[in-house]
Amino acid sequence: MEIKSGYTDLTKIFGMNVFSNRAMKERLPEDVYEALHRTIDEGRPLESSVAEVVAAAMKEWAIERGATHYTHWFQPLTGVTAEKHDSFLSPTTEGGAIMEFSGKELIKGEPDASSFPSGGLRATFEARGYTAWDCTSPAFLKEDSSGVTLCIPTAFCSYTGEALDKKTPLLRSCEAVNVQALRILKLFGKDDVKRVEVSVGPEQEYFLVDRELYEKRMDLKFTGRTLFGQRAPKGQEMDDHYFGTLKERVSAFMHDLDMELWRAGVSAKTKHNEAAPSQHELAPIYSSCNIATDHNQLTMETMKKIANRHGFACLLHEKPFEGVNGSGKHNNWSLTTDTGSNLLEPGKTPHENAQFLLFLCAVLKAIDEHAAILRASAASAGNDHRLGGHEAPPAIISVFLGDQLTEILENIEQDNPSEKKHYGRLNVGVSTLPGLRRDTTDRNRTSPFAFTGNKFEFRTVGSNASIAGPNTIINTIVAESLCEIADRLEQAPDFESALHDIIKELVTKHKRVVFNGNGYSEEWVEEAARRGLPNIPNSVDAFEEFISDEVIRVFGKHHVYSEIELRSRYEIKLEKYIKVRHIEALTMCDMAHKDILPAAVKFSTDLSEQIIKAKQTGLNLNCTVTEELLGAVMDAIDGFGKTLHLLEESVTKAEAMAGDLAVQARFYRDVTLDLMNRLRDYGDKLESMVDRKLWPIPTYSDMLFYV
Ligand code: ADP
Ligand code: MG
């Protein structure tokens, strides 16, 4: 292995592949730069004359760095990013060629929308769509072995204006929360604040497995998770992997990953080993919600690419290995003003604290009232295997505040005089908050929605998901909560006393969603039911939330999703669930027939031949152990074969249900998945008995423990 040494100036490397503010300032005439910034900062329409100059500068910049193609980089509802590459090259009448890129090409593209999922939108509308430049996320260069491409982050809409992507609703939701948060800040006299931005920092978990082993497993290749596989004798019980020393091979991968991400302007900050063997995490420094989302998509893409170069496969599935921790994506979320203050940071003065507590309680209200859609925002077939396991938050949404903050809220609720003495009396009855100790706020890893000192962390999101969906939901439900609060406060004759009353009322009404205990415990499931909190254990049921009356009302009110857009998302989610389970079932049947049965049958034949040979010696040898083993193997083969048959039948039945997505999805969940689990049990039993030399697929031990 090549040893990397020597000095690299990271400040020169960071963002070198981004057409950043700095690059734009250098290359654009001042008036054009300012006009573009009015569009970026204030959402003003982009004039075509400005776009023309920006496109020319962007093209020059990209070509100097070796770019030959450009692409509108967008996020269709598949959850991964899509791109269609166009060359800058344009032939001239003289038979030569020039490099061209116009303002029109920068602003608008027209990929064929008909091959992307659009749910009901496809039936209702012509499936023509266009992509439109999102100038709030900078253009960047992507490099790979095929060359350099200029990527222009874009939104993707139908010609009738429906969002066909994840970015458009996300941008709308950022706007919704901005509008409502500004109303509240105005009441606090913060007239200098012009914009409130959502800040997001997604921590990304992933597994690395050796590429050669990965290639030998159909399940990993086609479904991203192991459909068979007995647990290794050693798991994570020794806690020796978490934050452990990085293996050299892994650290070489991480180094290249960091470098590539830094060049693309992604602020990858921390990297470490996670709890499970072969599991790792990457956390970036937070940025605006929109950019964080683009960067997270880019991070996942880059992880897979760099892993290949290092002889690894990067697994982003939420639960690649049964019995081993799954992977999530902790979505750190907060609100920041353009004047640089974090609205979820406890303040230093009584006035600031009242404002902090109001925003905090607004979030509590949002989570309590819209827990079901928040849970649904993280629902997927893959995440069903992770949630509620012994390593991931349960499907019940609750908020962790920590003892200190909870006590403060309790005192407010009870107008507790001792509290006033303790923390100091204020005109709005809100205490001066003692400095919250960070370490006391971040210990509980079992909570799905935890306050961690100056931000909330939504931990239900699966590692594979785009964070666009969950953040669209968080932003909108918080916008709705702030809107209802602002409606009341704006009408109040006396702001200070109304503020006091409203905080108190919010605490009383929504404290049921606060839970600081162990979210993994059985008792919590019972306690949550007593409190009336929704518990939606699987994704098929959770998807229904997207078309509930309340969701249609709230998301319509804030212009984030129209009813048609919600129905299309609901359909797409069901369709995706069905496809995932269908592919898993087919892959399982294939592995059963071609990998597992032949190995098991060969082993049983070997055993019976041994027994026959032993008997033929005429020495009356004791064959009990071999006979018992053979009996057990034959039993397992029998169970395996019968279950395989039932699984195949269930797939045929499911395929015939194609007319009704909800019915089909429920069938996969209740019947097919159950048969898959049973088939796996037989398969894993066989793995525990069959000769290691005959077992045709890499085992958990092979894959999870390597040097
Ligand atoms: P931990 O949660 O383990 O204590 P950190 O506090 O360093 O770790 O942050 C985890 C993630 O949260 C990082 O991606 C970080 O950039 C992000 N983060 C920190 N502050 C904020 C904030 N105000 N808003 C959104 N994300 C934030
Ligand atoms: Mg964290």
Q: Which pLDDT score, from 0 to 100, does residue 125 have?
A: 46
Q: Which pLDDT score, from 0 to 100, does residue 7 have?
A: 66
Share the mean pLDDT of the chain.
90
pLDDT digits (tens, 9 = 90+) for 37-61: 988 887 778 888 999 999 999 999 9
169-173: average pLDDT = 96
Q: What string of DSSP letters covers 98-125?
A: EE---HHHHHEE---GGGS--THHHHHS
Q: Which amino acid is at 337?
A: T
Q: Which pLDDT score, from 0 to 100, does residue 416 have?
A: 62
Higher pLDDT: 3 or 143? It is: 143
Q: Which pLDDT score, from 0 to 100, does residue 99 have?
A: 83
Q: Which pLDDT score, from 0 to 100, does residue 10 have?
A: 83
For residue 34, give the H/E element and its range.
Answer: helix 30-42
**Ligand 1 within 6 A of CB of 345:** no
3-state SS assignment for residue 674: helix
Query: Which letter, b or e, does each residue of 641-661 get, where b requires 16 or more Cβ atoms within 10 Å of its Cβ?
Result: bebbeebbebbeebeebeeeb
At residue 145 the predicted structure's pLDDT band, cuts being 50, 70 and 90, is confident
Mutation test residue for ligand 1: of 286, 360, 444, the one with most atoms within 8 Å of CB: 286
Q: Which pLDDT score, from 0 to 100, does residue 429 have?
A: 43
Residue 354 CA: distances (Å) to CA of 188, 322, 361, 486: 9, 46, 10, 14
Per the DSSP assignment, residues forming a β-bridge with 196 are: 337
For residue 636, give the H/E element and its range.
Answer: helix 624-656
Radius of gyration of the chain (CA): 28
> In 309-434, where do the E strands start and end?
312-315, 329-337, 399-400
Residue 41 CA: distances (Å) to CA of 72, 124, 145: 21, 35, 36
136-153: average pLDDT = 91
**Ligand 1 within 6 A of CB of 131:** no
**Ligand 1 within 6 A of CB of 453:** no
**Distance in Å, CA 284 to ligand 2 centroid:** 11
Q: Which pLDDT score, from 0 to 100, does residue 706 have?
A: 67
647-667: average pLDDT = 96
**Ligand 1 within 6 A of CB of 456:** no
Q: Which pLDDT score, from 0 to 100, does residue 6 have?
A: 56
- Least-confidence region, from 29-33, 222-226, 412-416, 605-609: 412-416
Q: Which pLDDT score, from 0 to 100, does residue 131 have?
A: 85
Q: Which pLDDT score, from 0 to 100, does residue 428 have?
A: 43
Q: Which pLDDT score, from 0 to 100, does residue 427 have?
A: 39
Within a 10 A sphere around the Cβ of 292, how many other Cβ atoms?
28
Give 72-92 as a 3 state SS string. Answer: EEECECCCCCECCEEECEEEC
Query: Which letter, b or e, does each residue of 539-578 get, where b requires 16 or more Cβ atoms within 10 Å of its Cβ?
Result: bbbbbbbbebeebbebbeebebbbebbbbbbbbbbbbbbb
515-538: average pLDDT = 93
Virtual CA dihedral for 233, 235, 241, 247, nearest 10 degrees?
50
Within a 10 A sphere around the Cβ of 635, how many other Cβ atoms?
12
Q: Which pLDDT score, from 0 to 100, does residue 707 have?
A: 55
**Distance in Å, CA 452 to ligand 2 centroid:** 8
Q: Which pLDDT score, from 0 to 100, does residue 257 have?
A: 96
> Using alpha carbons only, what angle is made at residue 294 by residues 10 and 264, rounded to the nearest 5 degrees?
25
- Least-confidence region, from 101-115, 291-305, 311-325, 462-476: 101-115
Q: Burial, 520: exposed, middle or buried (Cβ in 10 Å; 0-12, 13-18, 19+)?
A: middle
Please check whether residue 427 is in contact with residue 350, taking contact to mean a CB–CB distance below 8 angstroms. yes
**Distance in Å, CA 376 to ligand 2 centroid:** 22
Greatest mean pLDDT range, 72-86, 160-174, 380-394: 160-174
pLDDT digits (tens, 9 = 90+) for 577-602: 999 999 999 999 999 999 999 999 99
Taking Cα atoms as reference points, which of 257, 253, 258, 256 lies closest to residue 269? 258
Query: Which letter, b or e, does each residue of 452-491 get, where b requires 16 or more Cβ atoms within 10 Å of its Cβ?
Result: bbbbbbbbbbbbbbbbbbbbbbbbbbbbbbbbbbbeebee
Q: Which amino acid is at 92?
A: T
Residue 105 CA: distances (Å) to CA of 47, 69, 72, 83, 102: 14, 12, 9, 14, 5
List all residues 6 or more positions away from 488 whose beta carbon is below 8 Å from its beta carbon. Answer: 498, 502
Q: Which pLDDT score, from 0 to 100, does residue 420 have?
A: 45
pLDDT digits (tens, 9 = 90+) for 216-257: 999 999 999 999 999 887 766 666 666 666 688 899 999 999
Taking Cα atoms as reference points, which of 18, 47, 23 lies closest to residue 35? 47
Ligand 1: residue whose CA is nearest its atom 19: 286
Provide the total of helices (H) and of strands (E) in the chain, helices listed first: 28, 17
> In 354-495, where do the E strands start and end?
399-400, 449-451, 456-458
**Distance in Å, CA 667 to ligand 2 centroid:** 37
319-323: average pLDDT = 94
Taking Cα atoms as reference points, which of 659, 578, 567 lies closest to residue 119? 567
Q: Which pLDDT score, from 0 to 100, does residue 237 have?
A: 67
**Ligand 1 within 6 A of CB of 284:** yes
**Distance in Å, CA 286 to ligand 1 centroid:** 6
Q: Are strands 399-400 and 449-451 parallel, antiparallel or unpaired?
A: parallel
Q: Which pLDDT score, from 0 to 100, does residue 113 have?
A: 66
Please check whether residue 28 is in contact with residue 57, taking contact to mean a CB–CB distance below 8 angstroms. yes
How far is residue 424's CA from residue 433's CA, in Å, rounded to a whole number? 9
Whether 315 has a pLDDT exceeding 70, the answer reads: yes
φ, ψ of residue 339 to 5 degrees: the values are -95, 5
How far is residue 204's CA from residue 211's CA, in Å, rounded to a whole number? 21
463-491: average pLDDT = 97
649-666: average pLDDT = 95
pLDDT digits (tens, 9 = 90+) for 678-707: 999 999 999 999 999 999 999 999 999 865
Only one residue has tokens 């590429």, namely 211
List all residues 6 or more positions away from 539 whose beta carbon is below 8 Å from its beta carbon. Answer: 376, 379, 380, 381, 383, 384, 573, 577
Virtual CA dihedral for 53, 59, 64, 66, nearest 10 degrees?
170
641-653: average pLDDT = 98
Within a 10 A sphere around the Cβ of 391, how many other Cβ atoms?
20
Taking Cα atoms as reference points, which of 28, 52, 118, 218 lies closest to residue 572? 118
Please check whether residue 85 is in contact with residue 142, taking contact to mean a CB–CB distance below 8 angstroms. no
**Ligand 1 within 6 A of CB of 199:** yes
> pTM of the predicted model, to two decimals?
0.93
337-359: average pLDDT = 90
Q: Burial, 189: exposed, middle or buried (Cβ in 10 Å; 0-12, 13-18, 19+)?
A: exposed
3-state SS assignment for residue 155: strand
Mutation test residue for ligand 1: of 281, 299, 332, the one with most atoms within 8 Å of CB: 332
Please check whether residue 217 is in contact with residue 226, taking contact to mean a CB–CB distance below 8 angstroms. yes
pLDDT digits (tens, 9 = 90+) for 404-463: 889 889 988 887 644 443 443 333 444 445 455 554 445 667 899 999 999 999 999 999
How far is residue 537's CA from residue 372's CA, in Å, rounded to a whole number? 11
Q: Which ligand is nearest to the CA of 198?
A: 1
Q: What string of DSSP letters covers 400-420?
A: E--HHHHHHHHHHHTT-HHHH
